[in-house]
Chain A
């Protein structure tokens, strides 16, 4: 794979995060290279969210170091991380349903044109670019004025991904993008992930669905109770092994027996 020829864009070493007496992360190591999709798996409460929020600049790690393109970094805010090129698409907070696709797409970075001392938002450029970027992702919008609320869940995720790509993300963190979607929508989002990866962006794909992870992932890291259980490459691990790692092994074996191995 080409992704292993490159150095990591972001490397997180032995990250610990404590919230008062609670140890949310207890030494997590993780790295992401250009053009790869690195899946971060774990059951609810494993620390996935805390970990990606640390990467995205929302939380500061209690201990451990973050290297961005080989240099040590400390992000003070999500804005800092974004400027560096780490974009995050959150599960439900990606879009504002009442606002148009264009307004959402450019939110926070609106294109501006000047009229003397006045600055106005350049809606023509904004609309054209939005339509074009969405077309690249395989979605033909009826109109850029369309409210995001009229889009399906998968399309909303795609707008958010297209936005991050357009603004030059080097690393794209996707927080459970497929968890609330139907089969078809999920397939669309997974194929979008594939497209984005091929353009050389590193993707961190958070999920607790092993099948979704295996569909697009190059590497798989499993978190359990705030610790990394290990990282496996594609082809080195079976779905069953991944599932077991995520759920903490023992109980799952018993459960699976009673459910006929379908989980």
Chain B
């Protein structure tokens, strides 16, 4: 009977441990992360890239990438894309600026209204995709232009300029603004400075204070979103539905998975992540610009693909996507520390994207047994 056949099938080769390890979505990203760190420790180790200030520098940039990559990753595993992420970042920032500075409403209200607005746009995006059955590529491309257009139009109309400043002043004393623009762990850094572990300012008004005086909330958000998304994806029922919706929507529907709801929720989550990114950025800069977030959607998608997710959906890892984002941040800032022309960053992006996609296709063949 089949039971004996299934236990010993002479035609199935013993799978090696290495091959088994290969079948993990994160593998490429782990190797990439190690390689990137090794490279910059070798070539920029003495440039200040790995002292407290340097670490803060590239981890902040990486955290930005992580926030949008986590959203893009969940959505891609659910089988859809959102190309409007970059425009959404610009749009959200401008919305906060207009509501708080131009209208003069409290900053917390501006932030909450902007989140509601962005999540609603994400839901609309998702609703159109599931209702029309059009590729999300096209639908979200439309939103890329619609949102960017509004982001330029409204400040032009109201303020006759495309950058609105003065948010820092408005945010002072606000209860919600520090959740996005604040820093945590100040006392720990004071203590480390007093122990001589990190550098302090030598001169000026802040003499004696540590150069790094806290971890930006941006990084906390990045870690929080990453852990949340990872747990939801791998440990919960809803996570199983996300995989199912992207793996084969029809098969999932037949067993009762609410595929449309899952997809719309993932569009909303992606919008939420974009909005977190925008709010942190606005709080950090104190201004909103109409050109903020350009090309971010592609950088997010590249980070996700480096992280091992398949463009066709149904397979991927949040941890992988976060490592992909880390690779980005480290390389982008590392080239600066190593004194390399920064335009080469784009060359790097293109090359690594190509390698990642080829590797993923290979892994997919191993999993599905395609020849």
B21 CB-CB contact with A under 8 Å: no
Do A138 and B2 contact each other (CB < 8 Å), given the known contacts A110-B237, A121-B240?
yes
List, in ascending order, chain B residues with CB within 8 A of A107's CB. Answer: 240-241, 244, 252, 255, 257
Do A108 and B257 contact each other (CB < 8 Å), given the known contacts A93-B248, A119-B237, A138-B1?
yes
A98 CB-CB contact with B under 8 Å: yes
Do B368 and A109 touch across chains, with their CB atoms under 8 A apart? no
Interface string of B216-238 (1 = CB under 8 A from A): 00000000000000000001110
B251 CB-CB contact with A under 8 Å: yes
7 CB < 8 A contacts A-B? A93-B254, A99-B243, A107-B240, A108-B255, A139-B6, A147-B367, A188-B2
- CA of A98 to CA of B368 in the docked complex: distance in angstroms? 6
By the criterion of a CB under 8 Å from any partner CB, how many residues of chain A are at the interface?
A: 33
* Nearest CB of B to A53, in Å: 10
Residue among B6, B235, B243, B310 facing the most chain A CB atoms (10 A cut-off): B6
B210 CB-CB contact with A under 8 Å: no
List, in ascending order, chain A residues with CB within 8 A of B289's CB. Answer: none
Do B256 and A90 touch across chains, with their CB atoms under 8 A apart? no
In the complex, chain B residues 1-32 whose Cβ is within 8 Å of any chain A Cβ:
1-3, 6-7, 23
Do B254 and A98 touch across chains, with their CB atoms under 8 A apart? no
Do B254 and A78 touch across chains, with their CB atoms under 8 A apart? yes
List, in ascending order, chain A residues with CB within 8 A of B248's CB. Answer: 93, 96
List, in ascending order, chain B residues with CB within 8 A of A90's CB. Answer: 251, 254
A79 CB-CB contact with B under 8 Å: yes
- CA of A261 to CA of B300 in the docked complex: distance in angstroms? 62
* Nearest CB of A to B262, in Å: 11
Chain B contact patch, size range: 20 to 34
List, in ascending order, chain B residues with CB within 8 A of A94's CB. Answer: 251
List, in ascending order, chain A residues with CB within 8 A of B235's CB. Answer: 120-121, 123
In the complex, chain B residues 239-285 whose Cβ is within 8 Å of any chain A Cβ:
239-241, 243-244, 247-248, 250-257
* Nearest CB of A to B339, in Å: 43
B314 CB-CB contact with A under 8 Å: yes
Residues of A within 8 A of B (CB): 78-79, 82, 88, 90, 93-99, 103, 106-110, 112, 119-121, 123, 135, 138-141, 147, 149-150, 188, 191
List, in ascending order, chain A residues with CB within 8 A of B23's CB. Answer: 147
Do B3 and A139 touch across chains, with their CB atoms under 8 A apart? yes
B185 CB-CB contact with A under 8 Å: no
Do A138 and B3 touch across chains, with their CB atoms under 8 A apart? yes
* Nearest CB of A to B243, in Å: 5
Beyond the given A107-B257, A147-B367, please list 6 additional residue pairs across the A-B interface where CB-CB is below 8 A: A82-B255, A107-B244, A108-B255, A119-B236, A138-B2, A147-B23
Closest chain B residue, CB of each to CB of A185 = B2
Residue among A108, A121, A123, A138 facing the most chain B CB atoms (10 A cut-off): A108
Do A103 and B243 touch across chains, with their CB atoms under 8 A apart? yes
Residue among A98, A106, A110, A123 facing the most chain B CB atoms (10 A cut-off): A98
List, in ascending order, chain A residues with CB within 8 A of B250's CB. Answer: 93
* Nearest CB of B to A207, in Å: 20
Shortest beta-carbon contacts, A-B, top 9: A149-B368, A96-B247, A108-B255, A110-B237, A108-B256, A93-B251, A138-B2, A140-B6, A79-B256
List, in ascending order, chain A residues with CB within 8 A of B256's CB. Answer: 78-79, 82, 108-109
**A97 touches which of B1, B240, B253, B368 (Cβ 8 Å):** B368
Do B6 and A138 touch across chains, with their CB atoms under 8 A apart? yes
* Nearest CB of A to B242, in Å: 11
Do B247 and A140 touch across chains, with their CB atoms under 8 A apart? no
* Nearest CB of B to A158, in Å: 9
- CA of A195 to CA of B342 in the docked complex: distance in angstroms? 67
- CA of A112 to CA of B315 in the docked complex: distance in angstroms? 22
- CA of A191 to CA of B5 in the docked complex: distance in angstroms? 15
Do A106 and B240 touch across chains, with their CB atoms under 8 A apart? yes
Closest chain B residue, CB of each to CB of A158 = B2
